[in-house]
A and B are shown apart, each in its own frame.
Chain A
Amino acid sequence: MSTLVFLEHHGGAIQKGSLGVLARALAVGGDVAGVVVGHGVAEVAASAGAFGVATVYTVDGPDFEAPLPQPRVDALEAVAAASGAENILFAASVLSADIAAGLAARLDAGLNWDVTDIAIDGGKLTARRPALGDTVLVTVGWTSTPRIALVRSGSFEPVETGGTAAVHDVAVTPREFSTAARMVDQAHEEASGPSIEDADVIVAGGRGLGTPEGFRLAEELAAALGGAVAATRAVVDAGWYPYSTQVGQTGKSVSPKLYIALGISGAIQHKVGMQSSGTIVAINKDANAPIFDFADFGVVGDLNAVAPKLADLVRARKG
């Protein structure tokens, strides 16, 4: 069985999520190769050797410089053909999801997403994945090859083994429509804020805070508890709170002792960034909000009533 792992890189480093998937693929067995796409990436590709992979394919050139998905579909189609890969694995990211789905359509190949583990069953790849807000665990398979999987963030840790990788370049000319979209401004980090990764207590705010000013409630509660303030993508995208405070799949992964979610629905992409918190408290007015499925203490109610009272009581107790 041969498996190709897409190694996403940024700023000269292969991403942790990709290296985690690589480690799992190597542990499961068969022939495993990596693939790195970009411009001037031979060195990045070779660096994967330290994580135990002996072969890394590259597709290298100016058309592949910007981290856009469509040229990478062309690149992976070519590498899949050159390597005869039966399985193609991606660590979920904004970029990888679009590549994986584009490739699935290009090759008429099955894509299973939200995969949290892989195994070999009767010589074939199978995968496990939670679904419907993690209320059911599903074993999934593919009816043809290549089998494509998107692995949920944080599922596997990288394993550094030492070693070197042979790098094979595959020449690819992207299709015309693949290069029609252009990167105008790349990875511009907006208004940085305080670090939330080391905080013992996090008060996170979502769209339920109502307005950017609503974040004052979160800030007051955080101040009372001696904690930091975090946010969901919905409010970061809306410009209510800085990008650096975002928790979730595209933001930070945090594991404070206490995580208090104010007006957050509990989308899977938020959950993956905070589910390892010691204790999770949620205040949400919708009794059906998914966040209550994984909160240790849930309050169904209006945060505008509960949060200020909570801050007062905490302050009073701390004297």
Chain B
Amino acid sequence: MKIAVCVKQVPDTGPARKLDPVTNRLDRSGEGALNATDVNAVEEALRIKEAHGGEVVVVSFGPTRALDSLRKALAMGADRAVLISDEAAAGSDLVATSYALAKGLERESADLVLFGQQASDSDGAVLWAAVAERLRRPLVSQVAGLEIDGASVTGKRQTEFGYDVISAPLPAVVAVSDAINEPRYPSLKGIMGAKSKPTETLSLADIGAEADRVGASGSRTTVLELAPPPAKGDQIKIEDDGSAAEQLVEWLAGRKLL
């Protein structure tokens, strides 16, 4: 079974994330990391490979430096990495990203395309549906439990009303939730081995994508204006030095919350 896992490099979490006031785009100049919930998708792919054999390829659409983050997936055990990267791609929204990513995925024609739960920078949790549409493949999203046989996938997923169980024939697109598994840590051997695993960086031309359908020209959404959020009330934040519980109880009592 060939499994493609879609992963994204995101700015390292922390308080410093901000939009660039000139471009209105996310400032990606700081440290980048593999998006946390994509690690669950990589883990799930590795488990499927361990049970059914095959190949795990991670596929990403992003700047060239995203390759650093893809190495973490290789260190976990993925077989190779494909990065779709092009100067013309910056500023791609969902419509443009799904187009480019689907073009890259078509080239792989995997039996199963896996996604993580959500990108921590955009909180979109939508890309899989756009990619499944472009690939014309069945979709099962938000999966917290996945079963797979040679011909189909069955996923259990939460909705506002309880749990659905959805089944789809392969090839299919599946997005997993952050509760589906406990991802492994890369071993030292894995980290060393990752350095010699194949990685490919492909341009839009390489994947047969039309440049004007990607980047700002291929995007259909636009940022008009940035503003600070509404002011928050007074906030207290303390580091526990052994007395945090006492301080908290006093504070709660002072506000008549006990």
Residue of A nearest to B153 (CB): A181
Residue of B nearest to A297 (CB): B236
Flag whether A81 is at the interface (Cβ < 8 A). Answer: no
What does DSSP make chain B's interface, helix, strand, loop or mixed? mixed
Q: CA separation between A71 and B93, bound complex, in Å?
A: 24
Flag whether A313 is at the interface (Cβ < 8 A). Answer: yes
Residues of A within 8 A of B245 (CB): 306, 309-310, 312-313
CB distance from A303 to the nearest CB of B (A): 10
**Which of B's residues lie within 8 Å of A, judged by CB?**
13-15, 17-19, 24, 26, 93-95, 98-99, 121-134, 136-142, 144, 154, 157-169, 172, 177-180, 219-230, 232-240, 242, 244-246, 248-249, 251-253, 255, 257-258
**Which of A's residues lie within 8 Å of B, judged by CB?**
10, 15, 67-70, 73, 93-95, 97-102, 104-106, 108-114, 126, 130-144, 150, 175, 177, 180-190, 201, 225, 233-238, 243, 250-251, 257-258, 268, 279, 281, 283, 287-288, 292-302, 305-306, 309-310, 312-314, 317-318
Chain B CB count within 10 A is highest, among A104, A106, A126, A183, for: A104
Contact across chains for A105 and B98 when beta carbons are under 8 A apart: yes
Partner of B127, one of A101, A201, A314, A318: A101
Known interface pairs A182-B168, A287-B237; 4 further A-B residue pairs with C-beta atoms within 8 A, sorted by A's residue number? A10-B161, A140-B223, A143-B222, A258-B257
Contact across chains for B130 and A180 when beta carbons are under 8 A apart: no
Q: CA separation between A295 and B242, bound complex, in Å?
A: 20
Residues of A within 8 A of B123 (CB): 113-114, 131, 133, 268
Chain A CB count within 10 A is highest, among B95, B133, B227, for: B133
Residues of B within 8 A of A110 (CB): 93-95, 219-222
Contact across chains for B168 and A250 when beta carbons are under 8 A apart: no
Contact across chains for B157 and A94 when beta carbons are under 8 A apart: yes
Residues of B within 8 A of A318 (CB): 258
Contact across chains for A184 and B235 when beta carbons are under 8 A apart: no
Residue of A nearest to B142 (CB): A94
Q: CA separation between A302 and B245, bound complex, in Å?
A: 11
Residues of B within 8 A of A281 (CB): 248, 252
Contact across chains for B177 and A69 when beta carbons are under 8 A apart: no
